[in-house]
Amino acid sequence: MREALDEARAALATDDVPIGAVVLDPSGAVIGRGRNRREADADPTAHAEVVALREAAAVRGEWRLTGCTLVVTLEPCTMCAGAVVLSRLDRLVFAAYDEKAGAVGSLWDVVRDRRLNHRPEVLTGVLAEESSALLVEFFAGHRSTP
């Protein structure tokens, strides 16, 4: 999670929301890194999770990330939760819940939906306070004062 938090901090340089992600192979080696790049790339799909999953798939040479773990600083949204399912990850680890847009327990629970063909293990709360503090600080700096 520390490496995912480093990615989240790096997103601040492009004024992107500080969310970071890493993909670990079955041995625990990082094979994909991502940070939010929506502002930097003018791409609505450039969420940290998607960026990290794309890099990991390129490293593996296939889209199936069986045996891998995605570690992310914030609960994935519906798009990213769907990408977790479709990539066949074994495990999803995230820090903080996202009460406004989370799709792994907050608003929806896409990754545990029994109607889907794959359901990864989910671990939550890892360094949640640190991740939440980074987001609170970012959004506090973006609120306009009257």
47 marked ligand binding residue: yes
| Interatomic CA distance for residues 136 and 133, integer angstroms | 5
Is 80 flagged in the annotation as binding? yes
Question: Is 142 marked as a binding-site residue?
Answer: no
Instruction: Give catalytic residues, as residue numbers.
Output: 49
Diameter of the chain by CA atoms? 52
The CA-CA-CA angle for residues 125, 142, 34, to 5°, reads 50
Cβ atoms of 130 and 5 closer than 8 Å: yes
Which residue positions form the known binding site for Zn(2+)?
Answer: 47, 77, 80
Which residue positions form the known binding site?
Answer: 47, 77, 80
